[in-house]
Copies of this chain bind each other. A is one copy, B any other.
Amino acid sequence: MDSLNVPLPTDDTPHVDSLSQPDATSRRGFMQGALVSSAAATFSTLGASSQAQAQTEAMRSTLNHYHLPATDKTVHWGYFSKNLPPFIEVMSGDFVTIETLTHHAYDDFERMIKGDPGAESVFYWDKTRKGVDRRGAGPMHASLFGRGAGEGLGVHICTGPVAVQGAEPGDILEVRIIDVNPRPCANPQFPGKSFGSNAAAWWGFHYNDMIEEPKPREVITIYEIDTTGERDWARALYNFRWVPQTDPAGVLHKTIDYPGVPVDHSLVQENWGVLKHVRVPIRPHFGVLGLAPREADIVDSIPPSYTGGNIDDWRIGKGAIMYYPVAVPKALLSVGDPHAGQGDSGLCGTAIECSLTGTFQLILHKQSTLKGTPLENLSYPLLETPTEYVLHGFSFPNYLADLGAKAQSEIYTKSSVDLAMRDAFRKMRHFLMTTQGLTEDEAVSLMSVGVDFGVTQVVDGNWGIHAVVRKSLFAGGEI
């Protein structure tokens, strides 16, 4: 991988709320009132036992609420990097509202980009200028495959990073997802709607195992989401088969090999009325949410790892809490790959990829406060929902370290559900033994009779199995 070569902001002050002035490029700090933290404090079970954190919060009478819009200036596309200067630096307890854009928006410009200044600035691409040039962790000069800057080795538009004051390797960052909302379509032709794209792509589990002709093929399905709150389901509008698309730089994309390539709808055949009467449950969540890893300067956004990233679990939505081991100073949180819904497995390669805005509260747990708490020695991303704890196993728990210098390419050749199951078992055993004080024998029995293992995804290089244990198992008192 070459060195980081991407236009970066030169200061790290917080952003203004640019929803009302979407083309704003100025950046200044603000406080959006004092959100009371006590409501959110009862939210967390595991984090609450870190006494020092609670004291820190109690000492602050006012918490800040920042807003980070998604624009060509505030996103990094297709990679994590510990070298990215942050846009906002928050204190533990602060809130951040973060806009995120789906990298599949150009599958239907009219419905997912047009009229939206943030999206237009990010996706802008003509012969002379790209809104965001680097897309992926590959070389800027596309010397590997000729696809474009960054080579599409990593695809997700990530907003951030957000720095957390005082965060250091060894600490745990708790990220509470306070709210998640679809980004309304800005095209006046489609009031009260949002839209998403599902690409059945070459990296999908199905791709080399099709039964209908022509084989293989890539198919994009456009889904409609109601933003008025009337429907908790999405419906499909139409689909089309990918045909070779030439980007504004003149590069021909025979397959979906580079993110944000404008789809020329005069070249594709739109099939309307697909999945008629089918109601897909809405499960808004962030496919990518995580911290910068320490192992490399620039890291492909696709494989998830110990710092989170592209976990692609639909449970990472409103009301959920993620706990991440901090790997680099200031933690550096980024958010992207917004999904309106996904099934466990993400089988065809993508979810309903749909721009969302989330509000997060960030709580820093210093390493010195973790001793004897459930977060001590947490070395993997841990999810807590109101009713469950969810552990994420991967084919390789820290593939960057596990696979050596060529990890970022090797990971795509070694994916295995079997390995992910092994990792999920080990993580759940660790969780039960440390947070619930069980012996190994107790943990193993409980895992067999009361813990559910599911397939998170089989499409993200580092494949995932999650293990779900319900909190109600531990709700009993003395019998």
> Which residues from chain A sit less than 8 Å from chain B, CB to CB?
198, 200, 204-206, 209-212, 219, 221, 223, 233-236, 239, 274-275, 277-281, 341-352, 416-418, 421-422, 425-426, 429, 436, 438-442, 444-455, 458, 465, 470, 472-479
- Bound together, the chains give a CA A341 to CA B473 distance in angstroms of 13
Q: Contact: A421 with B474, CB < 8 Å?
A: no
Q: Contact: A448 with B351, CB < 8 Å?
A: yes
Q: Contact: A448 with B418, CB < 8 Å?
A: no
A438 / chain B contacts, CB cutoff of 8 Å: 275
Chain B nearest CB from A311 CB (Å) reads 16
CB within 8 A of A345: which of B418, B447, B470, B475?
A: B447
Q: Contact: A279 with B472, CB < 8 Å?
A: yes
5 inter-chain pairs at a CB distance below 8 angstroms, sorted by A residue, are A200-B444, A205-B422, A219-B441, A236-B445, A347-B453
- Bound together, the chains give a CA A233 to CA B473 distance in angstroms of 9
Q: Contact: A198 with B343, CB < 8 Å?
A: no
Q: Contact: B418 with A473, CB < 8 Å?
A: no
A206 / chain B contacts, CB cutoff of 8 Å: 425, 429, 444, 447
Q: Contact: B344 with A453, CB < 8 Å?
A: yes
CB within 8 A of A455: which of B209, B348, B440, B465?
A: B465
Please give the count of copies of this chain that the complex contains.
2
What would 14 more interface pairs be, CB under 8 Å, given A209-B425, A278-B442? A209-B426, A277-B474, A278-B476, A280-B446, A343-B447, A343-B450, A343-B451, A343-B452, A345-B448, A348-B447, A351-B448, A351-B449, A453-B455, A454-B455
CB within 8 A of A448: which of B210, B349, B426, B473?
A: B349
Contacts known (A343-B447, A347-B444); A422 close to B452, Cβ less than 8 A: no
Q: Contact: A343 with B474, CB < 8 Å?
A: no
Q: Which residue of B lies closest to A200 (CB)?
A: B444
Q: Contact: A278 with B440, CB < 8 Å?
A: no
Chain B nearest CB from A446 CB (Å) reads 6
Interface centre among A449, A453, A479, by most B CB within 10 Å? A449
